[in-house]
Structure 1
Amino acid sequence: MANITRPREGQECTALPRLTQWEEKYDTPVPVPVGDSPQDRLAVLRMSIKSWIVPEYFTGQEGRTFLPRSTLRKIVRQDVISSVIDPGDIDLVQKACRNPVIFVTWLSGSKYLNTKFLKTTLERLQDGELPLHDCPRWISDIEEDYRQDYRQDLRDVFILHQQQFVVPVFKKQGRHSIKAHCSIPISILTTDKPLGEGAFNRVDKVYVHPDHNKIDKTTNVFALKKFESRAIQMSYLREINLHKRLPPSNNKHIVRPLASLDWQDKYYIFFPCGNGDLEKYMREVKPEGCSHRRYFCWFLQQIYGLSEALEVLHKATIPTTNDQSLGPPTSLIAGFHHDIKPENIIWFPTNKTWRVSDFGCGKIAEIIIKSGGQHISHQTLNKMGNVDYGAPEGWGDDRGCSRPYDIWSMGCLFLELLVWLLGGYGTLKSFRSARNGYVAGLGSTIDERFYELPPGDGGIDLRQAVKERIKEMKADPFFQGELRVLLDVVVEMMKIDAKDRPTAEKVREKLKCLENISETELEFTGSFPVRVSTEKSRESLTAKGEACSGITVSIRQADGSD
C-alpha cells in the first residue's frame, strides 16, 4: 500500500476524520466482476464504484465525490473492460483503456447509457476534452429511435457523472485551470484558523490526495494561498511572475511557489508548509541567546541566509528578451519585496531554516542604464505592506520607493531579532511598546515605526527608543566579534536617507563572517536545550573576569564546551 503522508509532528490537523476516509479506500482491490451476463457484471461493477468513491471537501458542494486515480487505473484494465462489453470488439476495448475517464463515466451511468453510447463517445471524444459543459450535437444522433426527452437524459447523465472522475493531478510548477464540473482532491486542514490572513488573501494548510500529488514526493501537506476574487488577480499574477523571473539560485531561505490553480474566479498558489511565522517562533521559543554556542551559531547563519535571500531578489540581471547582437543592454531587471516583517518570515523545522515569503507586494522592475553607466532604479508609489517596518521614504504620498526600502525593513527585522535573542519575547514587546507613538505629532498616525518626524525642522529621525536600544547594545560587552559586525551592519541598513544604505549585495558581503562559522559549530539538533538565563551567563563571565574579546570564545566558555 502506498502510504498516505499525514501531517508531520507539530503540525496540528483538525481534519483527520477526512484523511481517514481517504486512507480506508486507498488500497481498494478491484476484482473482475462476476455475473451470468455482461449486464449482470455491469451492474456489479457499477455498484462497486459507488463504494470506491471518496468524499470531496474542497469545493464545499454537499455530496460531491471523486474516484482516486489509483482505483481508476485498477478498474480500467483489459480483463475488467472485456467482462462488461463484447471482448471481440478489440477496437472498443483498446479505446476504453486509453480513455479511462470516459469509460468509467459511462460505466457509472450505464443504467441509462448503452454500449452504443460508449462507442460513439469514444469515436468523437478523448479524456483530455473533458469535462463537457454542454451537450454535443452528436449525442442526439446516437440512436434514431430515442425520444427527444431521452436524448436530454443522456446529456444530463453523462455530465452529472463526469465530475467524479475528471479530477486534476497537481504537478510541480504547473498552472492548473480547474473547470466547474471537476472535483478537487484537496482537504483543508486548518478549518478554524488559517496559517495566515491578509486584506486580500488567506493561507491554509491543506492535504492533497496522494494519487493526485506530483508536486512533491516527500509530503502531501502544503500551504495554499487563496486570492479571494478576480479584482485582486493582479496580485496573484504578480507573485507568480516575480518568482518566475527571479535569477536561478540555490538559496534555501526563500519560499518559492510549487504550483498554482484557478477555480471559479478564485486563485490559489501552493507553497511548502512551514510551522508558523517568525512572530510565532519568537513568541513560543525561548531564545538561548549567547548561552548555547550551537544555537547561537545557527541563529547567525539564519541572519546571513536572510540577507542572501534579499540579495537574490535585488540582484540585477539582463532581461531574457535582450538581443545581445545590439550591443550592451540598456536596462537590467531586479526585484523588490516591500513587505518584509516577522509575519512574512516562515519557520521550517524540518531543515531548521527561516525563509522569506509572501511576495504579493513585490515586483520585478526595470533599471535604466544611462550612457554614463549610472543605474536608475524603478520607483514605485505603491505603499502596501506593514507600516511598522516601512522605510522613511514611504512617509507621504509623493515619495518613490525602491530596493533600499527592503534594506530598511530587513534592518528593522534584524534589530528586533537581536533584542529577542538576548532578552526574549517579553523584552521585544517592551521595545515595541517604547516605539509606539505619533509619527509626526498629535493628529498623525500612532504605530510602532522605527522612525518619527519630531517637532521643528530637524527632519525624519530614528525614534528615541530605537536610538537608546542601539546605544545600549553598543555598550554591552557581549556585542563583540560577529555580533558586533551584525549590529554595525544593522545601523547602516537603518540610515534615514535611502541613498546612504548599503545594497543587499554589500549587506551580504559584510555579514559573510556569519556564514564562515565552522560546520562543527552548527551541530544543532533542532531540539532546543534547557534555557540558561542570559543574565546568569553574564554574571558568570563577569565573576571569572573574562573579557569578551571574541563572542565565539565567550560562548564556548559559558557553554562549557571545548
Structure 2
Amino acid sequence: MNSVLYWAFLAGSLFAFLSWRRRSTPPITPNKCPEGSPLGQLQDSLAFSFLKHEFIPRSTIDAAINETTVRDILVEEGLVDADCVQAEDLAKKIVQHARKMFAILVVLNKARDIRTFLKLGIQDHDLPFSLRVENEQLPPILRTNQGREIMAPEDWNYGTLRDLEKKQWDMLAPVFRKNGHYEFPKTQLLPFAGQTIVAIRQGAHGEVFRGRIHFDHHDFWEPSTIKGKEYAPVAIKKLFWTDPQLFEQEREFLKALGSAGPHPHLINLLCTYTHKGYNYLMFPCADENLRDFWKRTPLPDFNDRLLLWCLKQIVGIASGLSRIHELPRPSDLGLAKFHSFGSRSTDPAATVAFATTYSPPLHHNDRVNREFDVWSLGCLYLEFITWIVCGEEAIGQFSELRGKDDSNTEINSDFFYSKDLKTVRPSVRKWVAELKEDPRCTHVLCDLLDLVIENMIRIHARTRSSAQRVHFRLNEMYEKARKDKKYLLEKKQKSPKQQEPPLLSRSGVYVNWWVYYKERDKNNWAIAHVCICMNLHRCPVL
C-alpha cells in the first residue's frame, strides 16, 4: 500500500513539475555569443537597431541578413559544412524567403532551428504567429497568420514560445501604402520614431498628433537624401468615435477629395489604419498652423511682396474650400458629419461639432450646409486682415471686444454674432470700420473687408455667397492688385467723414496665447479632417 502511494506521489510530482515548467519557465535570455562571432555580431546589430528605433526597420534586416552572414551562422551552429553547396543553397533560401523568421530566431538564440521551420514550409509571409494553449496537459500550438497550425520544436518550452510571440513584432513593422487601410492587432509595433507621438490639437471628436514615420515603412515620398534624415513628419488624427460606418464614409470622402487632383491648399489623406480599438487618419504634416505663423511674425513688413503673398493665400484657401464644396452632396456619398471646417452634411446643427469662435449662428433645427463654411471662412479672413494691418496682438484685442458684447455670461464668448442670433455683433462692424481707417489698410484690403461683411458674415445662411463665388471675387481682386500697384498699396479714396474713437492699438492688451487658444480652439486649419493650409513657400516674411 505504501509502495503504491509512493509511486502515485512521485508521478503526481513529476506531472506537476512538467506542467509548471511548461507554463512558468521565464523567457529565454540568449547566451552571450563569443565576441566577434557571426551570430554575436548579428545579435548586437539587431539589438542596437531596436534600442534606437523601438522596432527594427526593413533596411536593417535586409542589410544584416545577407547570404554571407547567414552562411557563416549556419556553419557556426553546426547545421552545414563550410565548403558544401548545401550551405550556399540554404543561406540563399533564407535570405529570399525567411529573412524575418531567421532574425527572430537569432534574437531568441535559436538560429539553429531555422531548418525545422523551413521544413514545415514556414516563410516570412506566414508571420505573425499566434500561440494557442488549449489546456496545460498538451503542448502549445503555433498558428500562422493564415490559420495553419504547426508544432514548435520539441526542445522549446512555454517561455521560449512566449518570447517568440512577443519578439516577432520587432521585425514586423508595417509598410504604409498611399490610400491603403490597415487593421492592426494590439501588439503591432508601428514605424514611428519613439512609438510615442505628441498630441498637438484636441477637439470633441478627435485629436491630432505629430509623428515621424521611418522612410523604410511608407511609399508616400522618396527617401531623404540628407544624411541622418531617417524619418518624415506626418500628422495623425485619432478619431474618438468608433462607428465603422462613419469612419468608412469619412475615408471615402477624403479619398474622393484626393482623387480630384493635387491642390496647393489642400492636404490630402495618405492612408488610414485601426489600432487598439481606434481609427486613425494620416496626413502630411504642415510645419505650423496659421495661428503659430501669425504669432511668429507679430507685425509683418508692409510691402508689395507681402501683400501679394497674403492675397494669394487668401485666394488659395477659398479655392480649397470651393474644391471641397464641388464634391457630390452627402445624399450621394453619405459623407461624414463631424467636421470643424468643410461642412457637407445636411444633418441638424445640434449633431455637428464646430469650432467655437468661427461657428455661424445656429438654431436648433437648422440644417448644416455649405453656407456655414462661408461664414467661418469670413471670420478667418477678418483675423487675417487684422494681422496684416495691425499685427498679431490686435487679433487678441478683437476677440476681447467681441467678448464685451456678451457681458451677461460668466465666461464671455467671442462669437461674431449676437447672443440672440439675430445680428452680427456691433463690435465686429466697428472693428471693420476702424481697420479701414488704418494707413496700412489699402484699397484691395478695404474691398476684401467689404466682401466679407456683405457676402460672407451674414446672419441668414441663404444670403451668403457660395465658396465658388467668393473664390471668383477674390481672384479678381488678386489679379487687379497684381497689375495695379496703386490698388495694392494705396488707400481707397472716399469722402471725408467724422472719425470714431480708434479701437486698434498695436501696443494694446497682451493676451495669453495658451488660454486664448484653449478657449477658442479654432485655428487648426493646417491639420483637420479636411485640411486647408497656407502655402509658406516663398513667403516674404520667412
After TM superposition, the score normalised by the length of structure 2 is 0.68
Quick check: 1:56–1:184 contact (8 Å CA) kept in 2?
no
The equivalent residue for 1:127 is: 124
Q: Aligned-pair RMSD on alpha carbons?
A: 3.8
The equivalent residue for 2:107 is: 108
Where in structure 2 are the equivalents of 1:300-315 lying within 5 Å? 300-315=311-326
Q: Does 1:449 align with 2:415?
A: yes
Amino acid in structure 2 at the alignment position of 1:339? S
The equivalent residue for 1:195 is: 200
User: Structure 2 vs 1, CA of residues 189 and 158 (structure 1 numbering), >3 Å: closer, same or farther?
Assistant: closer
Residues 299-331 of structure 1: CA distance to partner in whole angstroms, max 9, x if unpaired?
Answer: 111100011011001114499xxxxxxxxxx96
Quick check: 1:381–1:398 contact (8 Å CA) kept in 2?
yes
Q: 1:513 aligns with which of 476, 488, 503?
A: 476
CA distance in 1, matches of 2:107, 2:195: 30
Q: How many percent of aligned residue pairs carry the same amino acid?
A: 20
The equivalent residue for 1:204 is: 209
CA distance in 2, matches of 1:304, 1:218: 33
The equivalent residue for 2:304 is: 293
The equivalent residue for 1:551 is: 488
Q: Does 1:387 align with 2:360?
A: no
Q: 2:173 aligns with which of 136, 142, 167?
A: 167
Q: 2:446 aligns with which of 477, 484, 488?
A: 484
- Bigger Cα displacement from structure 2, 310-319 vs 422-431: 310-319
The equivalent residue for 2:183 is: 177
The equivalent residue for 2:538 is: none
CA distance in 1, matches of 2:240, 2:427: 41
Structure 1 alignment gaps of length 5 or more? 1-33, 58-64, 320-329, 341-361, 366-376, 522-547, 556-562
Where in structure 2 are the equivalents of 1:99-498 lying within 5 Å? 99-111=98-110, 114-121=113-120, 123=121, 125-134=122-131, 135-136=141-142, 141=151, 146=154, 150=156, 152=158, 155-187=161-193, 194-217=199-222, 220-227=231-238, 231=242, 237=248, 239-246=250-257, 248-288=260-300, 291-317=302-328, 339-340=340-341, 365=345, 381-392=350-361, 394=362, 396-437=363-404, 442=408, 446-453=412-419, 460-474=422-436, 479=441, 481-491=443-453, 492-498=455-461
User: Structure 2 vs 1, CA of residues 516 and 161 (structure 1 numbering), >3 Å: closer, same or farther?
Assistant: same
CA distance in 2, matches of 1:398, 1:285: 42
Deviation of 1:432 after TM superposition, in Å, equals 1.1
Q: Secondary structure at the match of 1:114?
A: helix
Q: Secondary structure at the match of 2:130?
A: coil
Where in structure 2 are the equivalents of 1:516-527 lying within 5 Å? 516=479
Residues 161-192 of structure 1: CA distance to partner in whole angstroms, max 9, x if unpaired?
Answer: 3122112123333323333343322125997x
CA distance in 2, matches of 1:512, 1:308: 9
Quick check: 2:178–2:220 contact (8 Å CA) kept in 1?
yes
Count of aligned residue pairs for this structure pair:
428
Q: Secondary structure at the match of 2:171?
A: coil
User: Structure 2 vs 1, CA of residues 209 and 142 (structure 1 numbering), >3 Å: closer, same or farther?
Assistant: closer
Residues 508-561 of structure 1: CA distance to partner in whole angstroms, max 9, x if unpaired?
Answer: 11111244368899xxxxxxxxxxxxxxxxxxxxxxxxxx96234679xxxxxx
Residues 198-218 of structure 1: CA distance to partner in whole angstroms, max 9, x if unpaired?
Answer: 344333332223332432226
Residues 442-489 of structure 1: CA distance to partner in whole angstroms, max 9, x if unpaired?
Answer: 4697411111145xxxx7011110121223345667655432331222
Amino acid in structure 2 at the alignment position of 1:175? H
Deviation of 1:53 after TM superposition, in Å, equals 2.9
Deviation of 1:120 after TM superposition, in Å, equals 2.9
Amino acid in structure 2 at the alignment position of 1:262? T
CA distance in 1, matches of 2:338, 2:482: 31
The equivalent residue for 1:524 is: none
CA distance in 2, matches of 1:208, 1:50: 19
Deviation of 1:298 after TM superposition, in Å, equals 0.3
After TM superposition, the score normalised by the length of structure 1 is 0.66
Structure 2 alignment gaps of length 5 or more? 1-32, 132-140, 225-230, 493-542
CA distance in 1, matches of 2:194, 2:244: 22
Q: Does 1:79 align with 2:45?
A: no
